[in-house]
Amino acid sequence: MSRVNINQTRKVLEAHRLAGPHVRRVSNLIIQGARRLVPRGDHRSGSGKRQPGLTLGQSLKIEPRTDIFTISERIGSDKRYAATVHQGSEPHFIHGKGKMLKFQWDRGNALIAARSRGRTRRRGPRSSGGYFFFVSVFHPGNKRPVRYLTTPMHLYGRLHGFVTSSARVNRTRLP
């Protein structure tokens, strides 16, 4: 009778050496696919100001999360609105925290013009220089989410032999 003693440390290192590049290759494909699917634009707020920093596509990144038993990589963005773009959001109110909300509003200009002709009541939003000020506004929500992360994950992951799964996504009130 014989016995084989396997060096566990070397076994784990060899597994990581062989599997690590495969995981990295698939992660790179997933992030490339996500950057192609992510909505373009600079995410302007209602006031017309461009949000500072990188766009959503540029902010996508890969974070390795490796331990002894697993090799995993997390792909995502730190942008506050990334989850709402991906999953959608339900209709909700936006309240100004101690200040008025400032928006450009094309229909508001038509209302002001109609008011000046005497066709509508005097009560309504305040305007200044093409901008309108509100205490709170009703946001209709993002009814068409773009699954820019899960679609490439399932596509490229399954194509390269990985088992993929994602949680059921529903529209919620996200930050």
* Helix or strand run (H / E) with residue 74: strand 71-76
pLDDT at 1: 81
Kindly state the tokens that stand for 50: 């461009």
User: Domain check: are 117 and 34 in the same one?
Assistant: no
User: Domain check: are 110 and 157 in the same one?
Assistant: no
pLDDT at 54: 86
Q: Report how far residue 124's alpha carbon sits from residue 146's, in angstroms, rounded to the nearest whole number.
A: 35
User: Domain check: are 151 and 68 in the same one?
Assistant: yes
% helix, strand, coil for the chain, step of 5: 35, 20, 45
Total domain count, the chain: 2
Which stretches of 38-149 are DSSP H helices? Answer: 56-59, 82-87, 106-116
User: Domain check: are 81 and 3 in the same one?
Assistant: yes
Per the CB < 8 A criterion, the answer to whether 135 and 89 are in contact is: no
User: Domain check: are 33 and 77 in the same one?
Assistant: yes
Q: In sequence order, what are the beta bridge partners of 76?
A: 61
Kindly state the tokens that stand for 32: 């490339």
pLDDT at 170: 63
Q: Which residue range is the domain that position 120 belongs to?
A: 92-139
pLDDT at 129: 65
User: Domain check: are 77 and 65 in the same one?
Assistant: yes
Domain-located, residue 172: no
User: Domain check: are 76 and 111 in the same one?
Assistant: no
The list of the chain residues with pLDDT below 70 reads 42-49, 116, 118-129, 169-175
Domain-located, residue 174: no
pLDDT at 99: 83
Kindly state the tokens that stand for 59: 């902010």
Model confidence over 130-174: pLDDT tens digits?
788 888 888 888 888 889 999 999 999 999 999 998 877 665 555
pLDDT at 17: 94
68 in helix, strand or coil? coil
* Helix or strand run (H / E) with residue 127: strand 126-128
